[in-house]
């Protein structure tokens, strides 16, 4: 009998799915039954921040709809290349917060660790689209520097694993990092900022969350979903799975014109998240990053919208409307009106 043995170096299925994501705008349009010649807005097939989206996420888009809220988040448009006044390369003021080994230390008690520049999806509005990841990401060789920094500052109680997307790293690496962090006595919490469970729920398998079981820490997972349509059954299962490992599950979203800038869209998102065991945390106003101006929602309109949402939902389903201000001691939370 011939048995096919699986070699230990074979990548897990999620890594294959991640690598096989759609990268060509014409392929994406063909999958959606859209004709590029009919595009209501010019597309940029050669953007320096190229298209990237997993097939499973494409499957959640509506066929034949140029205004689909998931499609709008990923399709590169020609107008991204037009400079807009007030939209810069480092809108959130990351520059002065950079520390050795890919750490951003901006706020008291918590430090953010950039583990990788890689993401499963490229979101057009991303404020890190111009970030110099090649210099900043913490490859294993740089972890030691980052760990030294964390060791040396006892005021840091929480480490935020971020990127890029930290879950684009293999579980072995995340487990290794978790063990190293466990040696730092003043650390209490690990927070993971990730969009992967939303865009590639296959990432969250049984073995996948083994490092999440490390009881030395309290775990917080902050996922990133902008629209209820992103949250199909497979995503809900992945989120509930992480919750059952004991992680507190929160969501952050970005308020995006043409994607989720209605009270109905926000209400549906909060309700759907809750069904999947996740509470809304932040709804971010767009960071004014070059190439993203067409997604901006005016602050006054945003606050009105939150007023409409707050009038309809229990308080725990209303996200905090927040703006990132360079050099402020915290994110600025804006009142609904």
Q: Does 235 bind ligand SF4 (CB under 6 A)?
A: no
How does strand 248-254 pair with strand 98-99? unpaired
Residues at the site binding ligand PLP, with contacts judged by CB under 6 A: 97, 104, 106-107, 110, 112, 160, 330-331
128 binds, among ligand PLP, ligand SF4, none (CB under 5 to 8 A by kind): ligand SF4
Pairing status of strand 98-99 against strand 158-162: unpaired
Closest to ligand PLP by CB, 202 or 287: 287
What residue 103 binds from ligand PLP, ligand SF4, none (CB within 5 to 8 A, per partner kind)?
none
Based on the shown chain and the rule CB under 6 A, indicate whether residue 119 belongs to the binding site for ligand SF4. Answer: yes
The CA-atom distances, in angstroms, between 306 and each of 59, 78, 185, 300, 303 are 30, 31, 40, 10, 5
**Of these partners, ligand SF4, ligand PLP, none, which one is at the site of residue 123 (CB under 5 to 8 Å by kind)?**
ligand SF4
Minimum distance of ligand SF4 from residue 8's CB (angstroms): 29
121 interacts with, out of ligand SF4, ligand PLP, none, CB within 5 to 8 A per kind: ligand SF4
Segment near ligand SF4 (CB under 6 A), from 121-129, 214-222, 282-290, 307-315? 121-129
Question: In the complex with ligand SF4, which residue's Cβ is closer, 198 or 313?
Answer: 198
110 interacts with, out of ligand SF4, ligand PLP, none, CB within 5 to 8 A per kind: ligand PLP
CB nearer ligand SF4, residue 253 or residue 313: 253
| Interface segment toward ligand SF4; rule CB under 6 A; list 53-61, 162-170, 237-245, 284-292 | 162-170
Q: How far is the CB of 330 from ligand PLP (least distance, A)?
A: 6
Three-class DSSP labels, the chain:
CCCCCCCCCCCCHHHHHHHCCECCHHHHHHHCCCCHHHCCCCECCCCCCCCCECHHHHCCCCCCCCCCHHHHHHCCEHHHHCCCCCCECCCCCCHHHEECCCEEEEECCEEEEECCCCCCCCCCCCCCCCCCHHHHCCCHHHHHHHHHHHHHCCCCCEEEEECCCHHHCCHHHHHHHHHHHHCCCCCCEEEEEECHHHHCHHHCCCHHHHHHHCCCCEEEEEEECCCHHHCCHHHHHHHHHHHHCCCEEEEEEECCCCCCCCHHHHHHHHHHHHHCCCEEEEEECCCCECCCHHHCCCHHHHHHHHHHHHCCCCHHHCCEEEECCCCCCCCEEECCC
According to CB under 6 A, which one of 80, 94, 165, 230 is a site residue for ligand SF4?
Answer: 165
Question: Does 195 sit near ligand SF4 (CB under 6 A)?
Answer: yes
CB of 26 to ligand SF4, least distance (A): 21
Considering only CA atoms, which of 330, 306, 304 is closest in space to residue 320?
A: 306
Number of residues counted as binding ligand SF4 (CB under 6 A): 11
Q: Which does 249 bind (CB under 5 to 8 A by kind): ligand PLP, ligand SF4, none?
A: none
Closest CA to 70 of 250, 233, 198, 249: 198
- When CB distances are held under 5 to 8 angstroms depending on the partner's kind, the choice from ligand PLP, ligand SF4, none that residue 107 binds is ligand PLP
CB nearer to ligand PLP: pick between 103 and 167? 103
Q: How far is the CB of 115 from ligand PLP (least distance, A)?
A: 14
Closer to ligand PLP by Cβ: residue 111 or 238: 111
Residue 200 binds to ligand SF4 (criterion: CB under 6 A): no
């Amino acid at each position: 009998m011939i048995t096919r043995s699986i070699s230990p170096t074979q990548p897990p299925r999620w890594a294959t799915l991640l690598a096989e994501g759609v990268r060509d705008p014409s392929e994406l349009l063909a999958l959606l039954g859209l004709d590029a010649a009919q595009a209501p807005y010019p597309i940029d097939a050669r953007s320096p921040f190229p298209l990237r989206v997993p097939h499973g996420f494409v499957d959640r888009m509506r066929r034949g709809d140029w205004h689909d809220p998931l499609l709008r988040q990923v399709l590169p448009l020609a107008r991204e290349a037009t400079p807009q006044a007030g939209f810069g390369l480092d809108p959130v003021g990351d520059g002065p917060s950079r520390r050795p080994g890919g750490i951003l230390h901006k706020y008291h008690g918590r430090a953010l660790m950039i583990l990788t520049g890689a993401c499963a999806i490229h979101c057009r509005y991303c404020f890190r689209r111009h970030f110099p990841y090649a210099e900043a990401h913490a490859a294993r060789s740089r972890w030691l520097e980052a760990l030294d920094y964390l060791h040396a500052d006892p005021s840091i109680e929480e480490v935020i694993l971020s990127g890029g997307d930290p879950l684009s790293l293999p579980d072995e690496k995340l487990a290794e990092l978790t063990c190293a962090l466990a040696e730092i006595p003043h650390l209490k919490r690990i927070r993971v900022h990730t969009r992967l469970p939303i865009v590639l729920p296959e990432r969250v398998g049984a073995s996948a969350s083994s490092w999440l079981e490390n009881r030395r820490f309290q775990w917080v997972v902050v996922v990133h979903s902008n629209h209820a349509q992103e949250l199909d059954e497979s995503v809900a299962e992945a989120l509930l799975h992480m919750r059952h490992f004991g992680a507190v599950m929160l969501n952050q979203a970005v308020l995006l014109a043409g994607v989720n800038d209605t009270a109905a869209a926000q209400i549906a998102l909060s309700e759907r998240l809750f069904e999947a065991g996740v509470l809304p945390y932040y709804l971010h106003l767009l960071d004014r990053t070059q190439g993203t101006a067409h997604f901006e929602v005016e602050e006054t309109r945003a606050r009105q919208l939150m007023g409409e949402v707050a009038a309809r939902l229990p308080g725990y389903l209303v996200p905090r409307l927040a703006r990132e201000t360079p050099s402020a001691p915290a994110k600025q939370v804006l009142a609904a009106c």
